[in-house]
């Protein structure tokens, strides 16, 4: 009887080991828009949770720099709620030569020392957006990037109020941590919403990016990764960078760096 039970236990153990994170995926998307004059490469980093990526965070920063991003967007949970943030700040300092924008996730909002954390992040050269928008010019094209703080409920936000934060007709990007607020985002007058939070569903069906469970979502929800159409724009969801969450490892779901390329409309 004991031997019979050892066989499935071994199979389960092998399946778990095979699914543990082995590397960082570089996931690439492209969007064409008449608001862009020249190609812009945007890196999305989310849900780092102060994860350790080796000395000076080089296991993260080297593959990131190899993609030559023009801009970095961080839609929250780069830090944890209780621990020191040495790894997060090391990473931010290492990419300080690249324009970077950040909005909070739920774990940063849990911190009693959030003002001090924001001060440290700003000292790394990262622009913090919390209910405000900033205009930046990249490769001859103006982008307007807005960030809203992470709140517990979608009903605490109003789509018209968020839309009013934008002041230009440039390509509009909203940083907002929670990906499943698609009703809200669909009514915001912007071109792209960038989110994280779902960790890709934490455990995925092998060979797919179908996540099993994400916070505040049903089983097998589609709002765990990828690009999705909204009424007025698109939603991009990063699977994030943390390797495990509260000691629960990711399975068949590597951490990821997202590279989004904005391209001009094709000439007719």
CA torsion 167-151-155-256 (nearest 10°) is 80
List strand residue ranges (DSSP E) for 45-186, in order: 71-74, 100-102, 127-128, 132-138, 141-147, 171-175
Q: What is this structure's pTM?
A: 0.92
Domains of the chain plus CATH, in order, are 2-264 (3.60.21.10)
Greater model confidence, 253 or 192 = 192
Q: What is the mean pLDDT of the chain?
A: 91
| Pairing label, strands 234-237, 226-229 | antiparallel
User: In this prediction, what percent of the chain has a pLDDT beyond 70?
Assistant: 91
Whether the per-residue pLDDT at 262 is higher than 90: the answer is yes
Whether the per-residue pLDDT at 7 is higher than 70: the answer is no
Whether the per-residue pLDDT at 211 is higher than 90: the answer is no
CA distance 119 to 2: 58
CA distance 88 to 91: 5
CA distance 259 to 261: 6
Residue 21 binned pLDDT confidence (cut-offs 50, 70, 90): low
Tokens at 69, concatenated? 């991003």
pLDDT per residue as tens digits for the range 118-164: 999 999 999 999 999 999 999 999 999 999 999 989 999 999 999 99
pLDDT per residue as tens digits for the range 26-85: 999 999 999 999 999 999 999 999 999 999 999 999 999 999 999 999 999 999 887 778
CA distance 73 to 171: 14
């Amino acid at each position: 009887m004991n031997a019979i039970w050892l066989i499935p236990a071994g199979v389960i153990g092998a399946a778990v080991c095979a699914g543990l994170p082995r590397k960082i995926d570089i996931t690439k998307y492209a969007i064409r828009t008449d608001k862009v004059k020249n190609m812009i490469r945007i890196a999305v980093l989310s849900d780092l949770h102060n994860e350790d990526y080796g000395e000076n965070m080089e296991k993260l920063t080297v593959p990131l720099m190899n993609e030559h991003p023009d801009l970095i967007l961080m839609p929250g949970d780069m830090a944890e709620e209780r621990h020191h943030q040495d790894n997060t700040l090391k990473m931010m300092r290492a990419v300080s030569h690249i324009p970077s924008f950040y909005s909070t996730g739920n774990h940063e909002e849990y911190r009693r020392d959030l003002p001090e954390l924001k001060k440290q992040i700003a000292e790394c050269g990262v622009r913090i957006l919390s209910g405000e928008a900033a205009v930046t010019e990249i490769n001859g094209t103006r982008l307007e990037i807005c960030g809203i703080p992470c709140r517990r409920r979608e009903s605490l936000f109003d789509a018209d109020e968020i839309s009013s934060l934008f002041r230009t007709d440039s390509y509009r990007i909203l940083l907002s941590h929670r990906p499943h607020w698609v009703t809200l985002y669909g009514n915001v007058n912007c071109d792209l919403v960038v989110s994280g939070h779902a960790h890709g569903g934490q455990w995925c069906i092998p060979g797919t990016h179908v996540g099993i469970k994400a916070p505040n979502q049903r089983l097998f929800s589609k709002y765990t990764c990828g690009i999705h159409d909204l009424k007025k724009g698109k939603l991009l969801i990063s699977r994030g960078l943390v390797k495990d969450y509260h000691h629960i490892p990711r399975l068949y779901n590597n951490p990821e760096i997202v590279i989004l390329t904005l391209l001009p409309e094709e000439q007719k």
